[in-house]
Each structure stands twice: as structure tokens, then as C-alpha cells.
Structure 1
Amino acid sequence: MFSRIWYSISLYHLLLLPFSLVYGLISSVIRFSYHCGLFKSNKFPLPIVVIGNLTVGGNGKTPMVIWLVERLQHRGWLVGVVSRGYGGRSKRYPIILNELSNSDECGDEPLLIWQRTRAPVAVSPNRSDAVAALLRQFELDIIISDDGLQHYALARDIEWVMVAQRRFGNGLWLPAGPMRERATRLSSVHEIIVNGEKIKSGEISMKLYPSMAVNLLNGERCELKTLRKVIAMAGIGYPEQFFSTLHSSGIIPIKEIIFTDHALYCEKILSSLVMYDQILLMTEKDAVKCRKFAHFNWWYLQVDVFLSQDAENKLLLRVENNIYKYRIAALK
């Protein structure tokens, strides 16, 4: 319901606006308290990169985290990732992901990052605890925080904000609008990365392009265009983008089914969506929650980040300069 009104102005906002003002006041007081030193941020002996957003969901944040992890790994750096683990319900925190981890415990996005990169990933509502847990077990050069722009208890060296092509909707704080912080926060971050081609001066354009379709049951990979009789489903922040990607790749699904972001799935419901000769095609984020009960005709679409070479060089230069800065400081 909320996502439908965040990108418009209606009578609903008269009811929700008082709650938004309270949310905004609390958010502003917290940020001011850390900025003025009333609360102390936890700093660690290695650079922290926060990849976050100002709005709720659907900005391409997790693919960007994966992109950065893979690029740094390719350059020989040891990378760790921390996350809130939204949707997870572990009995203890922090937790470090391994082969036995499941999305019910750690959340879907951290599990997706771990499965794609095999980088050390720690999950905790307190991201500082997650960083400390990683450093107790691993030698690392850098840590990336998946989300956490508003988690000021964790000191950071670099902030990237992901912005969806639809940008900030009605510009109101939650719950009347999609904003966690006001758009003026953009003036204090290091990079603004837009998931789309329409950018403003100083912003970086990022595109998500379809890679391969992957079978959940056996890992078989094929070109997306070879799939037939597709039923598409998505339980992400901006499902329309997934369906648009399919359309632009020549796939017109028989049906498009939307679930809530971070939805919990069960075999009975999903298996009822398709006939024996049809294909259930989902996002990779959905797939991490469905592998343990997948059917032979369930597939997911892997997407990858594309940046211009100039943008890639710019982003990586700042990150690597911070790694070198900490290394030099450690030698003094």
C-alpha cells in the first residue's frame, strides 16, 4: 500500500504526515548528535565503505555491493561485507555466513552477496559488532557496508548513495513518502550513483544488464532469450524494473506476479504458480530463499552492473587510495 502512494500526493498523506514529521525529527536528532560528538562512532583500523540510499528499496544497492567486492577481489584485496540482514531472524548476533546459512536466519541480501562473491559476510543489527566479528576471524583490507547510510554508530571513510531512476517520489519522510533522510543529504556523500541513464551533473550512471538465466535446482545456465512459457515473479523493492528488463530482452511473460520486498516463500504457493511445461522465472534475490525446495522448472535471472570505464576508474581510485592510506598509517 505505502509504495503506491510514495510517488504521488493524495489524501492519505494528511493522515500519514504527522508520523513522517516524527520520523524526520528523530532521524535529524540522531544525525546531529553524532555530528556534534554527543554520540561516538566506532572507528576501525581499515577503511569502511557504505553503499546506501535515501529511499526504501529498489535502488540497485546490493548489485553495486557485489560489483565493488568482485572488482576489489580481482585486484587482490581482501574484502569483507557487513549487513543489517533485513528479514533475518537469528537468535544471536553477529553471525558470519557459511555453507549452512539460510535466508531465514541472515536475510536474503547478505546471503546473495555471500553466494555470489564468497567474501566474508557478517550480519548484525549493530554493524560495528559485525565489523568486529569479521576482524576477529579474517585478515581484511577493507569492509563494505551493505546499506547503513543512516547507521551513524559505524564510522565510515566513503559514502555512496544509490538513487533509483524514479528518484525520490513525493520527497516526504517515511511513512508518507519513501525518504529515510532528506535529499539535501546528497551534498555530503562522496558519490551519487543513479540506477539508470537519466543523471544530473556530478552523478554516475549505473546500468543493470541481464547476464544468464540459472536453474535453481541444478545450476544449469542458459541465455535468457531461450526460455519459453515464462511466469515471472519478483519480491523486490521495485519489481517493475525486473519485468522491464525481461521485456527489453525479448521475454514477454504469460503472467507477472509481484510479492512484497523480502517476502517469505513456501513451496506450495510457488509451485501453484506454474504448470508442468511452464517456467517460473524470479530474481536472484528471490532465488536464495527458494533453493532448498526448488523444482526443475524454476529459474532466476542473474544481473550484473555496468559502469563506464571512467566511472569505474573514479570509484575504484578513491577506494584504493583509502586502503593505501590505512596501510601507510599502520607502518608509522
Structure 2
Amino acid sequence: MTSLMERLWYGKSRPLMLLSPFAWLYRAVAEARRRSAITARVQSLPVPVVVVGNITVGGTGKSPLTAWLVDEIRAAGWRPVILSRGYGGNSSGYPLLVTQDALPSLAGDEPVMLAQATGVPVVVDPDRCRGAAFALDNALGDVLVSDDGLQHYRLPRDIELAVFDGERGIGNGALIPVGPLREPISRLASVDFVVVNGAVASDEMGRVPLSGFCGFAHPQMYAMTLQPTRLVNLISGETRSPESLNGKRVRAVAGIGNPGRFFLTLEALGANVTAMPFPDHHRFRPEDLGADADQILVMTAKDGVKCRGFAPDNAWVLYVEAQLPKAFSDSVLAKLRACSGPPTF
């Protein structure tokens, strides 16, 4: 998404109102495709399916939430498998089982990042139903977690999680192309959980009050934060604390859905940041990674998997982890048990 579209969509006004007929057409087509996909799909799979997604365009923190969720599910005794569309990858064949050293140009940047972060099987296929069948045929696990699959309606699902960026919310509240919404806000009535990433008030249980967020409420709405955990050199593997950036000159590059959040995180750590945003899933080149002699080059984990082969010696990756309340974990795991029974240890 371009910075221009971000300004137009994530403000309060609707300068693109002249495009309203296209927004109505977009909604009609999307709803027709949803009905058709739901009608065509099998009603269930022999294992539970958890879908993590959003109804807005742009980065919301889905991948860190997916990694956190997979860790929680695995710690409770299940064997989760991640399903991904593999956006940005260009494999000659699907389904594709992603290893930790897979090429992002084939598998996509987010699947490789998730494989490295979680260590669980990651299956890439633009057709998530085919990817799910591959995971089941090969006995890869007993819970399927679909990363960014809320609108992939042919895939049956038992639990749905919708994620929002707390600062940007729903933007101007309009559907594409007038605003950033992929689906109407009313879609949230059918999801099981809503997660708000940052910049939102919550109670002592981590729940967002029923007074709502951006004009809507949900009985299972929780607050999430992203916590920087470590700084790792892409070449040497040296690890430092995130606080080591305090007072340092940093050239920050980010090819993610909401690069501004990454830059603010670095500034909160005390870094003197020169921000270099790129489009989401940008294919980096060596010339994108230039930095002054007294600067530290810092990027996201998602970008790091693409730059490892040509990164300079001063390139570092800032890793973050999702932090969510225990009440949310307990609720998700309880629903998962209701879908599948207790895990087989």
C-alpha cells in the first residue's frame, strides 16, 4: 500500500467518495464470492481449523499473533501446522512444505519467517484447502492454523480471530476503494475473537471494554502488544538487547504493511532513526541496504529472511514477540478443546 493510500484511507474523511459505486460493487462481488465459497466447501475437516486474519488492508500484526498462537497451542499438547497463501513467493509447484532455510522468493517471506520463529510445519498453497489436505495426508499435525485466511471461505474453520492495528483502527470506515475495509464491520459479529494490536485501553484481564473500539464492541476482544526481544546480526549471528540501540544512529528499512509501527518501536528504544519505508513484501536489493559508516542498519524479521544472502556486516534484525493476556489464551484453548477434545500427548 502506498503512503498516499494510507493517508486517504486511514484518516477520518473520505476524499475518495466519488469511488463509492466501486465500493458498492466490491461489496456485492465479495459477498457473492463468500456465499459461493461457503456453499461449495466441505462443512468440516477431521482436525480443528483456526483462522487468523483481518478485515482491513495493511499490516495489523497477524504474523506475530500467529506465532504466539502456535506456541500456545503446542504448549497445550497439540501439534499445530501453519497454512499460508505464500504471498510474494513463486514456486513451480504447490503444496509446498516450507523449511527454515527455504527461499523467500519461492515460499514467500512470511511463511519462511514463521517457520523460523515457530519450528512447526508450514504449508504454502494459494489454495488453502489443498494445503490443508496435504497437511492431513502427511500427518503433519492435529490443528491447522491459517495465517491471513479470513476471506478464504472455501476453507472450513472452527475458530476465527480478527486482528486490528490499534492506532489505525478501521480508518475512515469505508470499503475498498473508498476506505481500507475488505468486509463490512458487521462481519465481526461472526468471528470468535477480536485482537487489537496496541494503542487501546484494556481492563485487568486484558479485555477491551464493551464500550468498544472504533465504534464496535465484541464480547471476546483483547489487547495485544508487540515486545522487542532481541537484536541479531544477520551475518555473524551476534545477539544484543534491543536497549543497545539507545542513543545510536539507525537506518531503519521496512517492507511491511505498516512500517510506521516499526519505526516508532525503534524510536521508543531511544534510537535516532532515519526511516526507509518500502512496499509490503518488497524484494530487496543490495542497493536498498546502504547506510552511513556511523549508522546501524536495522530491519524486521520478515525483511531479514529476504536480505540474509547480501546484507552488509552492520545489518541487524529486531525481533518482536506478541504479548497477550492469559484470559485470551485460556479462552482460545477452551474453544479448541471443545472442537477437538483434549490433546493427545
Same fold (TM over 0.5): yes
Query: What's the offset of the Cα at 1:60?
Result: 0.8
Q: Which residue is 2:138 aligned to? A: 137
Equivalent position to 1:250, from 270, 281, 285: 270
RMSD, matched Cα? 1.8
**Residue type matched to 1:251 in 2?**
A
Helix, strand or coil at the partner of 2:44: coil
Q: Which residue is 1:276 aligned to? A: 293
**Residue type matched to 1:297 in 2?**
N
TM-score (norm 1): 0.91
Q: Which residue is 1:21 aligned to? A: 24
TM-score (norm 2): 0.88
Q: Is the 8 A contact 1:141 1:323 kept in 2?
A: no
Helix, strand or coil at the partner of 1:299: strand
Q: Which residue is 2:216 aligned to? A: none
Equivalent position to 1:309, from 305, 315, 326: 326
Query: What's the offset of the Cα at 1:215?
Result: 1.0
Helix, strand or coil at the partner of 1:185: helix
Partners of 2:43 and 2:117 lie apart in 1 by: 28
Q: Is the 8 A contact 1:212 1:223 kept in 2?
A: yes
What are structure 2's unaligned runs of at least 5 residues?
202-207, 211-218
Q: Is the 8 A contact 2:14 2:172 kept in 1?
A: no
Partners of 1:205 and 1:318 lie apart in 2 by: 19
Partners of 2:121 and 2:51 lie apart in 1 by: 16
Q: Is the 8 A contact 1:2 1:176 kept in 2?
A: no
Matches within 5 A, 1:1-332: 1-8=4-11, 9-14=13-18, 16-35=19-38, 37=39, 39-41=40-42, 43-165=44-166, 166-196=168-198, 197-198=200-201, 199-201=208-210, 202=219, 203-227=221-245, 228-253=248-273, 255-270=274-289, 272=290, 274-324=291-341
CA change 1:214–1:100 in 2 (3 A) is closer
Query: What's the offset of the Cα at 1:325?
Result: 7.1
Query: What's the offset of the Cα at 1:100?
Result: 4.5
Partners of 1:209 and 1:99 lie apart in 2 by: 23
Q: Is the 8 A contact 2:76 2:343 kept in 1?
A: no
Partners of 2:55 and 2:34 lie apart in 1 by: 14
Partners of 1:256 and 1:42 lie apart in 2 by: 47
Partners of 1:266 and 1:107 lie apart in 2 by: 16
**Residue type matched to 1:300 in 2?**
V
Partners of 2:97 and 2:281 lie apart in 1 by: 20
Give percent identity, aligned residues only. Answer: 39
What are structure 1's unaligned runs of at least 5 residues?
328-332
Helix, strand or coil at the partner of 1:261: coil
